[in-house]
Structure 1
């Protein structure tokens, strides 16, 4: 089998580990979407399956071109792009009955700060209407280095707007929790788990820790997310709001999964299944 990697970082531990697991009997071809001739290279060295470990416009267009030719791409360009828009993400999740945080979009952080400061509060679903502090403010477009911040009052909004004023954002009601983000990762039907100190915890963020196994119902919930979002390789950020009640706050297409034992091998096996 020939497996194509759509990535600007073929040395990423997850991809490098998967390539090693595929062994010498399978060929791995790297397509860097930054190269202008990436599509021509793909046409000349057709792979049996492609792994889309990139989210920039060039990578998505390359994936779409391959899909139009009938090539299987994991994850599809459409599913990958959906996970970049936190408004569409929340709408889909809530329509499907998933326990996803109520989310309201604003065209810019400046607009949000002005509206919160003029006494009218924030319009939106229960928990936001009439303004209940604190809230969580995030960039509408999910990407590396995006805005994710807890906001306790209009003054903090104005501080953020000084640097992010034009940024389209979403607002979620802050759900009390123990300060840890539960990171659930899926590759096909395998679920891996981690813990990371929340960016909004008083102690500050902390590196992802491996967890032996997530609660069974959380694993089932994670696989349900994959069905709803048409994802094969993805991450689900969950917070425990008390007594093990999960609240989903984000979904990511093809996360890094660094340090997850068995993840590279699971990815290699998934690639061969999709190729078949």
Structure 2
């Protein structure tokens, strides 16, 4: 089988480890989204480990040429728009944080009565985007001075322990960790692997449901425990790094091969698509 990687970073730990497993018997080819064209003979499956405009354009071109892409360009694009993400999640009955959208931070700041803390995020999920807690008018003014034109979403701040639950899924296999929140006074901390049996009841099933709703095979879900194990989803990411999780490279390699064999057998239409 030929497996393609759509990424500018084929040395990423998860991809490198999966490549090491796959390349024992199969061919793995990395495509740089900026410079690569659609090959005359596309690979049996492509793993889309990038959400840049170049990567998404390449993925769409490959799909138009009949290639199988995991996750699809459409599903990946959806997860980059936090407004559409929230709308779909809440429509599907998922416990997603209530989300308001504004054309710019300046527009929201001009008429925002801050009666309680809120979390402000860039509408478009990308590296270096805005994620900040705002408690008062002074904080808001300082934020607006830097991000005034940024399209944003606003979520009410949910009281919690200060630790995010990071859950990742590769096909049906769930991995978990806790991490001190970016919004905590101490700042973001390292991931701490969490056994699945330490998760509150129903959380593993919940994140699998997210995959079905969003047509994702490789994804991450950020969850807050708002008390007594009650989950609140605050973000969903297509193809996150999943670093330091035992078994993740093996799960990704197995998924790539399964989808490649499905594509070569002409059965990939039964797989997820957005």
**Normalised TM-score (structure 1):** 0.92
Q: Which residue of 1 aligns with 2:182?
A: 199
Residue 136 (structure 1) shift = 0.4
- Is the counterpart of residue 166 in structure 1 residue 149 in structure 2? yes
- Is the counterpart of residue 10 in structure 1 residue 15 in structure 2? no
Mapped partners of 1:10, 1:211: distance in 2: 27
Residue 184 (structure 1) shift = 0.3
SS in 2 for 1:105: strand
Mapped partners of 1:227, 1:197: distance in 2: 28
Unmatched 5+ stretches in structure 2? 262-274
Mapped partners of 1:165, 1:208: distance in 2: 32
Which one of the candidate residues 138, 141, 153 is aligned to 2:136? Answer: 153
Unmatched 5+ stretches in structure 1? 122-130
SS in 2 for 1:30: strand
Q: Which deviations, in whole Å up to 9, do the C-alpha atoms of 1:85-121 show, x marking residues without a partner?
A: 00000000000000000000011111111112xxxx3
SS in 2 for 1:221: helix
1:196-235 superposed matches below 5 A: 196-213=179-196, 214-235=199-220
SS in 1 for 2:111: helix
SS in 2 for 1:44: coil
Which one of the candidate residues 255, 265, 269 is aligned to 2:240? Answer: 255
1:98-113 superposed matches below 5 A: 98-113=94-109
Mapped partners of 1:267, 1:161: distance in 2: 41
Mapped partners of 1:173, 1:206: distance in 2: 23
Q: Determine if contact 2:223/2:231 at 8 Å carries over to the other structure.
A: yes
- Is the counterpart of residue 47 in structure 1 residue 30 in structure 2? no
Residue 201 (structure 1) shift = 1.2
Mapped partners of 2:10, 2:201: distance in 1: 33
Q: Determine if contact 2:42/2:62 at 8 Å carries over to the other structure.
A: no
Q: Which runs of 4+ in 1 moved over 3 A?
A: none
Mapped partners of 2:94, 2:156: distance in 1: 16
What is the RMSD computed on CA atoms of the aligned residues? Answer: 1.0
Residue 255 (structure 1) shift = 0.2
Mapped partners of 2:118, 2:195: distance in 1: 31
- Is the counterpart of residue 75 in structure 1 residue 71 in structure 2? yes
**Normalised TM-score (structure 2):** 0.92
Residue 45 (structure 1) shift = 4.3
Count of aligned pairs: 259
Mapped partners of 1:221, 1:157: distance in 2: 34
Residue 132 (structure 1) shift = 3.3
Mapped partners of 1:100, 1:219: distance in 2: 15
Q: Which residue of 1 aligns with 2:270?
A: none
1:104-143 superposed matches below 5 A: 104-116=100-112, 121=113, 131-143=114-126
Q: Determine if contact 2:101/2:152 at 8 Å carries over to the other structure.
A: yes
Q: Which residue of 1 aligns with 2:250?
A: 265
Q: Which residue of 2 aligns with 1:29?
A: 29
Q: Which residue of 2 aligns with 1:124?
A: none
